[in-house]
Amino acid sequence: MNKVNINEKLSLFSDYWNPRIVGELNGQHVKLAKLKGEFVWHHHDNEDELFLVLKGELKIEFKDKTITINEGEFIIVPKGIEHKPVALNEVTVMLFEPGSTINTGDVQNNLTRNKLDKI
């Protein structure tokens, strides 16, 4: 059992859309990521995702609406739901996802991270 200092972990990287694993529990990964710009439209066939905004403002576009998540707020995107995260300015997030989750879901492109670093 070790405590995790979120700010310390966030200081270890500066790239965007590349989550790092900072913890694991019950088959779930706890991840930190920095986001800026637009991600890709995608969905996850088998995994729900929780986005907790630590700093900044994150918009998640859905086919029928856009939801804004502010600091201290989170959203759970159910499996199968097409979505696209958008960060106009830098956003830091904590993600809770099953260990099997690939960041781009059903899409494979230059943003896909099949193996994540643990920090």
For the chain, what's the residue count? 119
- Give the pLDDT confidence score for residue 65 in this predicted structure: 98
User: What's the confidence (pLDDT) of residue 86?
Assistant: 98
CB 102, CB 112: distance < 8 Å: yes
The CA distance from 29 to 34, in Å, is 16
Q: Number of helices (H) and strands (E) in the chain: give both, helices first.
A: 1, 7
pLDDT at 83: 97
Report pLDDT digits (tens) over 21-71. 999 999 999 999 999 999 999 999 999 999 999 999 999 999 999 999 999
What residue ranges do the domains of the chain occupy? 6-98
Question: Comparing 115 with 57, which gets the higher pLDDT?
Answer: 57
Q: How many CB atoms lie within 10 A of CB 51?
A: 22
Write the class of the CATH domain 6-98.
mainly beta
Measure the CA–CA gap between 81 and 44, rounded to whole angstroms: 7
For residue range 8-25, what is the model confidence (pLDDT) as tens digits?
A: 999 999 999 999 999 999
